Amino acid sequence: MALPLLNLPPWFSPPDWGKTIVFRIILTILLFFFIFQKTRINKDRENTDSRGLKMNLYGYRLPLYLLLSLLGIYFLATIFSLDIDFSFWGNPYRSGGFLNFAFYIFFAILTFLIIQKRDWRKIWNFAFLIGILVSIVAIFQQFGILSKVFIPLSWRPSSTVGNPIFLAIYLLLLSFLALSFCIKEKNLAKKLFYFLSFLLFFFVAVFITQTRAVIIGYLVSSLFFIFFYPVRKSSISLALKLTALIILLFGIYGIYFVNTQTELPQFIQKNKFFNGVTTRLSIKAGLADPRISGWKVSLGAIKTRLILGYGPENFSIGFDKYYDPSLPGIEKMPDGITSWWDRAHNFIFDIGITAGIPAIIIYLSLFGSLFFTLQKLKKNRPEDSIIPHGIQATFLAYLTANLFSFDTFSTYLISFLLIGYSLHLLSSQTNTEQPRKIHKFILMERSYANILKWRWPILTFLLILLIWFAWSFNLKPLWINKELNLAIYLSQKKDCESALNEMEKIMPSKTYLSSYLNMYYAEFIDECVKEKPEMTTAFAQKAVEVLKENIKIMPYYTKSWLPLGNYTNILIESGRQDLKDEANYYFQKAYELSPKRQEVFIGWTMTKLVTGDYQEAKEKAQICINLNPRLGDCWWLKGLSEIYLKESENAQEDIQKANQKGYSIGDESSLSQLAKVYADLKDYKNLVEIYQKLIVLEPNNVQYYASLASTYKELGEYDKARQEALKILEIDPEAKSDVDQFLEGFPY
């Protein structure tokens, strides 16, 4: 329960990765000792708690079976996944995958089987304590307290959880149970502890993280908690319902007020907490949320694989297939500005795409069965009804918030602990007088006796398996990821060669992280190309070799093919015209995986330009424009192709459109592209103008002066050529021999 606090780079970064690794190791050890305990001699077994292997499944049978069914449907979705390895293992970025999901389910069942009634309150007290510490870290980040220890984040801190949305949902999961314990507790000190915990969780989740999904979750569950509060006195019940109605009306009016006032009151504007919350409650901002566009794409993806989906973690395969760049805000997913989505930010769409419609039905049925059986428990035991009521409110808040988000380790940990706790509470209402099926019980006893004969060989095998699993699939990948984090640090410090050297040390280690490492290696090369443009070709060759390996591992991912095509373009531009067919093949595969990706057509257009197929380049650029005319890159490339085709008027018009669409036509990269085009066409007049602009941008770049001098020479303007050549000596006196050689033969 302390794992949400774990966030120590470089070993435990990304945050969920280290937590998941430690969680798997701990739970594997617990499972081993659970089996060890349950296979002890019969005398010990006879004295075990009646909630052991002899437990009666009446009363909580349906939720438990649905939990196991959820495990089963995800297992089938993994078996029939388009990428089984990725579906099973996931990667450090999201720390998902079937294996981790299975461990969460085992965790829920194991807590149900192991934790005794007297110990559940201790577990939750400790969980609240960890929640308090996590909240304090968020407050420290917000206000810059101990800034040398906690990275200060003045807006929406993430604490140790890794993201403000996930932090808010984690605290939401703890809130209503803390409030329920407060109401039930008679000891004043403990009551105060629970109440202050609730207030702290609420404050951080609402006013520090300012997460809209969680604000809505609190509102919905608060109304349920108050309106359906389990109390028998009609007067109190009426008062609570009136209170809930007032809260609802006040909430509706508050949202109306925020969205209709041109200027909010000064006390709200000056207080960044209130101002942040009210800003995020704006309906206009909500309608502009990119999630809506993402859900439209997700709906199309679900329809094609209704039964078992694309497989756990394979959301992006289905999303890319139906990606539509014309949808508003699609390039700005909630986590940042990128068109590459790997989650829908809605649990229904996430489950539907990755595991199919049956998984959605089972998932909702699980929580539905828990909700209604807890309701039955409230009626049967009114004196103990407040805790089940708090759990119901928590599940309602959790599902509401996840309509706009998704789970990570910390939220999974608490939600599945709540499931285990719910099963424990439901087991307490089991009718122990209900007759058993004696013949089945005797058969189980005989089978159990046979297993006991092989107890030590089985336990020895399981111990070896535990050690192998802990090392090969947890500790070794954890170390590899630590080395990767060091390489990321070097790359961020602009030491690209050291970053690549670090990567080359760990890449031969064949684990389920290979594709993850390959993609990072390609990203590091991007940075190296910016730092050392003179080595672009050598870097591109390295990237192509790595990415060719990556398409073998993850052939269904657009992001495996697209960079491969882009780096192949660089090699073609350096003189490798024999790679033309390969580049076209890579972009064709990317197009098949994501037919409306403008990034694909941008790269494909570049292939046509560097191979001299200018008419085809123009056609690809036009397709790119048709997909979404708001993207300036497409207009720019169309303009370049039209220059090659001698359609000067159209070219200038399209280049200006690119500028209007936000494409920077005057930066160094764009001007360098134009310089190449005019050089290929031997249009020296326009080339002079381009090099003059480049010199303004980079006045100490010797190569630009040399190129301008050579261009003047081609135009026969020797005086200007001489002037530019002599400027080189002012910047780099050691270039005198090269300048003298250039000036030889000039007419005087």
In degrees rounded to 5, what are phi and psi of residue 209? -80, -25
pLDDT confidence of 436, banded at 50, 70, 90? very low
Question: What total number of domains does the chain contain?
Answer: 2
Contact 704, 694 (CB under 8 A): yes
Token output for 589: 């595969």
Confidence (pLDDT) at 237: 67
What average pLDDT does the segment 410-438 reach? 77
Among candidate residues 319, 352, 355, 408, the one with its CA nearest the CA of residue 595: 319
Nearest to 325 by CA among 22, 594, 31: 594
How sure is the predictor about 227, in pLDDT bands with cuts at 50, 70 and 90?
Answer: confident
Mean local confidence (pLDDT), 436-459: 61
Tens of pLDDT along 548-559? 999 999 999 999
Q: How many CB atoms lie within 10 A of CB 462?
A: 15
* Whole-angstrom distance, CA of residue 210 vs CA of residue 153: 13
pLDDT at 282 over 80: no
Contacts of 219 by beta carbon, 8 Å cutoff, 6+ apart: 247, 251
Task: Average the pLDDT over 691-704 and give the result.
Answer: 92
Residue 195 CB contacts under 8 Å (≥ 6 apart), including other chains = 178, 179, 182
Reply yes or no on whether the pLDDT at 95 is more than 90. Answer: yes
For 371, half-sphere exposure in the C-beta direction (CA atoms, 13 angstrom radius) is 17
CA pair distance 317, 300, nearest whole angstrom: 12
Distance (Å, whole) CA 600 – CA 320: 11
Residue span of the structural domain in which 368 resides: 59-427
pLDDT band, very low/low/confident/very high, at 568 (cuts 50, 70, 90): very high
HSE (CB half, 13 Å, CA atoms) of 318? 33
126-140: average pLDDT: 96
Distances (CA, A) of 693 to 402, 549, 686, 687: 51, 41, 11, 10
The answer to whether position 44 is within a domain reads no
Q: How confident is the model at residue 275 (pLDDT cuts 50, 70, 90)?
A: low
Mean pLDDT of 426-439: 52
The per-residue pLDDT for 268 is 55
CA separation for the pair 368, 398 (Å, rounded) = 13
| Domain C-terminal end among 401, 427, 453 | 427
Q: Which two tokens stand for residue 228?
A: 């359906």
Residue showing tokens 């002890």: 40
Q: Looking at the domain assignment, is residue 552 inside a domain?
A: no
pLDDT interval class at 433 (50, 70, 90)? very low
The pLDDT of residue 81 is above 90: yes
Distances (CA, A) of 16 to 127, 156, 227, 338: 17, 19, 36, 21
Domain membership flag for residue 407? yes
Mean pLDDT of 659-678: 92
- Rounded distance, CA 562 to CA 580, Å? 15
Query: What span, in angstroms and rounded, lies between the C-alpha atoms of 2 and 132?
Result: 11
Mean pLDDT of the chain, nearest integer: 88
Most confident of the ranges 202-211, 225-234, 733-742: 202-211
Q: Which of 406, 427, 448 is the last residue of a domain?
A: 427
Which residues make beta-bridge pairs with 575?
A: none
**Residue 301: half-sphere exposure toward Cβ, Cα within 13 Å:** 36
Q: How far apart are CA 618 and CA 645, in angstroms?
A: 9
In 3D space, the residue among 737, 681, 732, 669 whose CA is nearest the CA of residue 711 turns out to be 681
Is residue 240's pLDDT more than 90? no
Q: What pLDDT does residue 745 have?
A: 72
- Residue % of the chain over a pLDDT of 90: 67
Alpha helices in 322-435, H assignment, sequence order = 347-355, 357-380, 386-401, 409-427
pTM of the model: 0.89
Instruction: Give residue 56's pLDDT.
Output: 42
What's residue 445's pLDDT? Answer: 53
What is the arithmetic mean of pLDDT over 714-726? 89
| Tokens 């046979």 belong to residue | 450
- Classify residue 211 by burial, with Cβ atoms within 10 Å: 0-12, 13-18, 19+: buried
Give the residue-averaged pLDDT of 373-393.
91
C-alpha to C-alpha distance for 542 and 492, rounded to whole angstroms: 20
**The predicted structure's pLDDT at residue 559:** 93
Pair 131, 52: CB distance under 8 Å: no
Q: Which of residues 436 and 663 earns the better pLDDT score?
A: 663
Rounded to the nearest 10°, the torsion over CA 60, 65, 70, 71 is 110
The stretch 21-37 carries a mean pLDDT of: 93
pLDDT one-digit tens code per residue, 630-652: 999 999 999 999 999 999 999 99
Q: What is the pLDDT of residue 534?
A: 84
Query: Terminal CA-to-CA distance of the chain, rounded, Å?
Result: 85
- In this prediction, residue 20 carries a pLDDT of 97
Q: What is the mean pLDDT of residues 314-319?
A: 96
Tens digits of residue pLDDT in 679-691: 999 999 999 999 9
- CB-side neighbour CA atoms (13 Å) of 411: 27
| 595-608 pLDDT, tens digit each | 999 999 999 999 99
12-21, 34-43, 588-597, 662-671, range with the lowest pLDDT? 34-43
Closest CA to 187 of 121, 238, 97, 254: 121
What does each C-alpha distance from 747 to 709, 710, 717, 721, 740 come to in angstroms? 15, 15, 11, 12, 14
User: Is 2 part of any domain?
Assistant: no
Q: Answer whether 459's CB lies under 8 Å from 35's CB.
A: yes
Whether 590 and 550 have beta carbons less than 8 Å apart is answered as no
The residue out of 366, 394, 427 marking a domain boundary is 427
Give the mean model confidence (pLDDT) for residues 359-369: 97
How many CA atoms lie less than 13 Å away from 1 in the CB half-sphere?
Answer: 21
Q: Predicted confidence band at 241 (pLDDT cuts at 50, 70, 90)? A: confident
The answer to whether residue 435 scores a pLDDT higher than 50 is no
Q: Is the pLDDT of residue 440 over 50?
A: no
> Residue 250 domain-assigned?
yes
Beta bridge partners of 613: none
What pLDDT sits at residue 579?
A: 95
Contact status, residue 724 vs residue 691, Cβ threshold 8 Å:
no
pLDDT at 245: 78
Which letter does DSSP use for residue 228 in this model? Answer: T
pLDDT digit string (tens) for 541-550? Answer: 999 999 999 9
